[in-house]
Amino acid sequence: MIGYLKTGCATALVLALTVGGAMAAETTQVAQTQAVPKGQPAAPGLPVVDPSVSPCDNFFLHACKPWIEANPIPADQSRWGSFNVLAEQNQTILRTILEEAAKNPTPRTAKIGAFYGACMDEAAVEQKGLAPLKPTLDRIAALKDKGQLATLLASLHNIGVPGLFSFGQQADPDQATMAIARMAEGGLGLPDRDFYFKDDDRSKQQRAAYLAHLEKVFGLMGVPADKAKANAETIMAFETKLAEGWMDRVARRDPLKRTNKQDLSTFRALAPGFDWAAYKKTLGTPDFDVLNNANPDYFKHLEKVLAETPLETVKTYLTWHAVRAASPWLPKAFVEENFDFYGRTLSGAKELRPRWKRCVDATDNALGEELGQFYVEKAFGPEQKERMLRMVADIQQAFYDNVPSLTWMGPETQAKAKEKLKAVTNKIGYPDEWRDYAALEVKRDDLLGNAARSFSFEQAYNLAKIGKPRDPKEWLMTPPTVNAYYMPPNNDINFPAGILQPPFFDKAADDAYNYGAIGGVIGHEITHGFDDQGRKYDAKGNLANWWTPEDETRFGEKAQCLVDQYGSYVADGDVTLNGKATLGENTADNGGLRIAYLGLKARLGEAMGQKIGGLTAEQRFFYGWAHVWCSSARPEARRLQALTGVHSLPEYRVNGTVSNMPEFAKAFNCKPTDAMVRGDKACRVW
């Protein structure tokens, strides 16, 4: 995945209405050139730079400082960059579509119009108060004993209320063309397990803020002050116990540690006090005999925690998560309180995003492919797809041709790498076949109900895959999404239409700029198939070791260089990046930009020497990479990303990557002693 999506620990539907923008990085070329003084170059791909900063000293500031100064972080955002600006441009297109659909619905636009219209009807939400949530709260309150917990929890999971653990489906690690059931840890209100245990002052302050948030939410529900305070303390203590059983985020990145196939009887024996048969029946899953248990120790731990925990504590905990999940769809006081903690405290955003933006996101989450059809009609043409396919082919070929140059890798592993690379498929823009939402009921006057039903619809869609062959044509992102991804079990790369816009892909710009921008993204996603996670999957997407022991060891040595390099970069105060947690993305950045460069050289040939605006093709290439990452972020957001994210901060994605490339040093005539030249300390895996 090239960027990082919305932050926080709530569900996607919750985040859509609460957390101020949290996607990574920069802006469109149009926005950049409009924001600079007169007389500066405005042609696509020609940069506006800070001449007082040498590209060899700090390429990120050299290329991005003018943009950063001209584009301060909006009050409703925790960071601001090209992902955000492009996402907002896409939102504006979607808003036009949705407002027309809400005002003048047609058979084709009725559902998206009704969902958006219900979301925008804030007066109706205020009038209903907590009434739409009451049936769910009543079901929790009616819980008489722990023997009924499984049935209750399944009914909550089916409407998007998290708790205790997560259940879903995934590709079978041994037969990736098939889907199997998956169990994993879950049920925390803070972003990650370490938030419950870190002992630094900032972590203590955030836990105190979480306690205060819990207390305020119960107060909004009408719970007396002393009881609200007691409830907050009860939930914090219970979630801390759950967190003790979680793997840390580095361990959770390892597919080998997260793969533990078990038959049902073995799994049930881990937590025999929980009625798994009732849970499965209520959830409505297909029959299955084998599942993947992503954390067996957690379910042993959960059995012990539940046995020691009073029933009233469990009910209080589930009540909290029901309200948390519903907060975006409740009256303004709940929305603002939710934002105050998850947006302001954790991410640093100053203001809640306008309701229309939150409702556009919510509709995209609920009816993404139905809404996406209209976006594609307005924003993505066949010429863009054709040029993208050409770039993908060039960069895939460059990777293939580059494999023999990897002297650390033996011929046997090289042959397997080539085999896997040749099997990579790509999806550009939008699905070949659109999802059918006919079975999803959407009501113009039922916001919370729409949210619950859309979650249930998506849940049923995914659970129905268990025991069946996977659909290789399926997309996991909606067409307007500003992101891209590689899926290891599918061995495919995916580029939604939403990211195939300037500055990532500018049809008016020359190849050098585009190969540095979207080409770097293409290379990034291809390289994910060969990073510390992706390399553990074979050409068919199965979790299988195709490496010789010697090459596996040498890969680890090469990767450790990146762990050490990025682990030294400071995020905020004494918080540094986690070099192990970000290893996959850093491997993809470094390998991806390099193979994009090789792809450009093959495409241009002798034309690489041609200058545009006084810049060589090499220089325009590297400016293209910098443009997509020009951004700034609030200290809270930088810290949150360093503690929970798998992506490095944007300035390190630029400087960390180019400093490892001798091609960059040559393009800008950098000296061996310059900061952007790591020389014999340069890291290279691919």
CATH number of domain containing 139: 1.10.1380.10
Taking residues 592-620, what's their average pLDDT?
95
| Domain extent at residue 400 | 12-86+380-429+479-681
- Do 307 and 387 reside in the same domain of the chain? no
Dihedral of the CA atoms 245, 249, 255, 257 (nearest 10)? -40
Mean pLDDT of 457-462: 97
Within-domain flag for 440: no
First to last CA, the chain: 18
Other Cβ atoms closer than 10 A to 276: 18
Residue 181 belongs to a domain: yes
Question: Could you say which of 511, 589, 618, 674 is catalytic?
Answer: 589
CA dihedral 610, 614, 616, 622 (to 10 degrees): -140
Q: Do residues 190 and 294 share a domain?
A: yes
Confidence of residue 526 (pLDDT cuts 50, 70, 90): very high
Confidence band of 383 (pLDDT split at 50, 70, 90): confident
CB count in 10 Å sphere of residue 108: 12
Helix (H, G, I), strand (E, B) or coil at 610: coil
Count CA atoms within 13 Å of residue 215 on its CB side.
Answer: 12
Q: Which residues contact 65 (CB under 8 A, 6 or more apart)?
A: 49, 50, 53
Query: Is 402 in the same domain as 530?
Result: yes
Instruction: Please state, in angstroms and rounded to a whole number, the distance separating the CA atoms of residues 37 and 288.
Output: 64
Rounded to whole angstroms, how far apart are CA atoms 383 and 296? 49
Rounded to an integer, the average pLDDT of 315-325 is: 98
pLDDT at 74 over 70: yes
pLDDT of residue 43: 59
DSSP code for 679: G
Q: Decide if 469 is inside a domain.
A: no
Place of tokens 């954790």: 346
Rounded Cα distance, 252 and 149, in Å: 27
Angle at 40 between CA 38 and CA 41, to 5 degrees: 130
602 and 656 together in one domain: yes
Question: Span 549-567, mean pLDDT?
Answer: 97
pLDDT at 46: 75
Is the pLDDT at 322 greater than 90? The verdict is yes
Q: Which residue has tokens 């489906």?
A: 169
Structure tokens at 630: 């020009």
Kindly list the distances between the CA atom of residue 447 and the CA atoms of 132, 327, 444, 531, in Å, as whole numbers in the listed order. Answer: 9, 11, 8, 42
Measuring CA to CA, how many Å separate 317 from each of 11, 115, 234, 247, 300? 16, 30, 8, 21, 20
Q: Are residues 655 and 512 in the same domain?
A: yes
Secondary structure percentages of the chain, helix, strand, coil, to 5:
55, 10, 35
Q: What does the DSSP 8-state code read for residue 661?
A: -
267 inside domain: yes
Residues 6 or more apart in contact with residue 168 via CB below 8 angstroms: 181, 182, 184, 462, 463
pTM value? 0.90
Coil, strand, or helix at residue 190? coil
The average confidence (pLDDT) of the chain is 92
Q: What is the 3-state secondary structure (H, E, C) of 165-176?
A: EEEEEEEECCEE
* pLDDT value of residue 609: 86
Are 311 and 399 found together in one domain?
A: no
Looking at the fold, whether 190 and 320 belong to one and the same domain comes out as: yes
Return the number of other C-beta atoms located less than 10 Å from residue 387's C-beta: 17
Residue 353 falls inside a structural domain? no
Q: What is the mean predicted confidence (pLDDT) over 407-424? A: 97
Closest CA to 103 of 93, 113, 118: 113
H-type alpha helices, 327-410: 332-339, 346-347, 355-366, 368-379, 382-402
Boundary of a domain, candidates 262, 296, 329: 329
Residue in 492, 510, 525, 651 annotated catalytic: 525
- What is the rounded average pLDDT of the residues 618-629? 96
Q: Which of 268, 303, 329 is the last residue of a domain?
A: 329
For residue 13, name the pLDDT band (cuts at 50, 70, 90): very low
489 pLDDT more than 50: yes
Q: Between 39 and 100, where is the model more confident?
A: 100
Residue type at 609 in one-letter notation: G
Pairwise CA distance, residues 399 & 128, whole Å: 58
The predicted pLDDT at position 5 comes to 40
Q: Name the β-bridge partners of 458.
A: none
Regarding whether 626 and 530 lie in a shared domain, the answer is: yes
Q: Chain-centre distance of CA 615, in angstroms?
A: 35
Q: Is 244 a catalytic residue?
A: no
Region 24-40 average pLDDT:
31
- Both 261 and 172 in one domain: the answer is yes
The pair of three-digit structure tokens given for residue 11, joined into one six-digit string = 């569900």
Query: What is the number of structural domains in the chain?
Result: 2
Q: Could you give the CA distance from residue 124 to residue 443 in angstroms, rounded to a whole number?
A: 13
Residue 622: inside a domain, yes or no? yes
> Which residue is it, tokens 């203001």?
351
In a domain, 371, yes or no: no
Q: Are residues 142 and 71 in the same domain?
A: no
The pLDDT assigned to 2 comes to 73
CATH no. for residue 515?
Answer: 3.40.390.10
Question: How much of the chain, in percent, has pLDDT values that exceed 90?
Answer: 91
Do the domain assignments include residue 118? no
What whole-number distance in Å separates Cα of residue 564 and Cα of residue 437?
48
Boundary (domain end) residue, out of 292, 307, 329: 329
Residue 567: pLDDT over 80 = yes
Same domain, 150 and 251: yes
Please say if 589 is a catalytic residue: yes
| pLDDT score for 14 | 28
Rounded average pLDDT over 231-253? 97
Instruction: Give yes or no: residues 73 and 168 share one domain.
Output: no
